[in-house]
Amino acid sequence: MPYQSREIHLTAYPDGMPKPSDFASREVTVADPSDGEIVIHNQYMSVDPAMRPRLSPGQQPLNAVMSGGAIGAVAASRNPNFKEGDLVQHGLGFREYATSDGAGVRVLDPGDLPVTVYMHALGGTGFTAWGGLLVTGALKDGENVFVSAAAGAVGSVAIQIARIKGCYTIGSAGSEEKCNWLTGELGADVAINYREGVLRKALKAAAPNGIDVYFENVGGDHLDAAMPRMNLGGRIPVCGMISAYNTPGARSTGVTTLSNMIYMRVRMEGFVVPDFEDQRAEFESDMKGWLASGEMRYRETIMNGIERAPDALIGLMSGENIGKMLVKLD
């Protein structure tokens, strides 16, 4: 039988910080699957910083379903590779029901783990942290590591990987609650509340022996503060620059210290998850082991109901989340 499905559509391109009026909830009818197709009933949707730059002409069309990742159960199948009830992960966007020919849909077997870990520690955000730190950042055991936005989904995994590797770890976050989580549950050596005091002075005090690897999530004043502290041969894997995502023209501001790259021979390199696809099995082996042993911890910020998806994205961009931001569907 057909399925009634609500979807979140982008109705206007944001100018600066997204607003609720930039989005709309639409109800559509999803037909039964044709030969080779499946219909998925989504359970959780992933909300990620990388969604914000995509809300622009040429990337996200207006009056169409928002792109994004989700996990759900197969409600109906006419595809031999999937059966009803299979738990699957996909990137078919912010909707209650999705139709697919199976391309890009992955069957999950979470075992004893909560299914939501496939949307953070064991999913794209965890893989981002693992690849960015260990591959692009070429982290060595015992080095000095600074992670910006360390209480976010990617940053919280990155700082724990560094801790597991025996590194001295510094993380920045935007509240005392987040800083306490970093130094308490996650085991960071130092947490800096970047909303208080002067970040450059705080980082200088926190890193008396310099920084070997700076995991960059923020840009702007964070990059400006980190660059003078970089050690000879330091590495800066660039995961994101969220400080610029809501700035017209997406320009990161406040960086005046880039010349330090020359004298300290610092390597600064951007990366994306597909760069590490041939190492996914190694990542999953590492992460499953760390989760099972309790070395890797996480927190989720969950909003309930598909209609809360715009609030979740706006909240993420405002720093309201601790750990991974998710939307749980009814």
Residues 44, 94 within the same domain:
yes
- Residues 41, 29 within the same domain: yes
Domain membership of residue 72 as a residue range: 3-120+299-328
Task: Indicate if 95 and 214 belong to the same structural domain.
Answer: no
* pLDDT for res 166: 98
Q: Provide the edge-to-edge strand list for the sheet that holds 211-215.
A: 190-193, 168-173, 144-147, 211-215, 230-238, 267-270
List, in sequence order, the alpha helices (H) in 60-152: 124-130
Does residue 56 share a domain with residue 178? no
Same domain, 141 and 91: no
Comparing CA positions, the residue from 86, 98, 82, 68 lying closest to residue 5 is 98
**136 and 270 both lie in a single domain:** yes
The pLDDT of residue 253 is 59
Dist CA 141 CA 109 (whole Å): 32
Q: Are 182 and 155 in contact (CB under 8 A)?
A: no
CATH number, domain with residue 164: 3.40.50.720
- Same domain assignment for residues 142 and 99: no
Do 78 and 188 lie in one domain? The reply is no
Residues 137 and 177 in one domain: yes
Number of domains, the chain? 2
Which stretches of the chain score pLDDT less than 50?
A: 250
Is residue 222 in a domain? yes
State residue 250's pLDDT score. Answer: 47
Task: Specify whether 151 is located in the same domain as 45.
Answer: no
- Cα 110 to chain centroid, rounded: 20
The pTM of this model reads 0.90
CA distances from 203 to 59, 69, 184, 197 (A): 37, 35, 19, 11
Please tell me the predicted confidence (pLDDT) of residue 241. 85
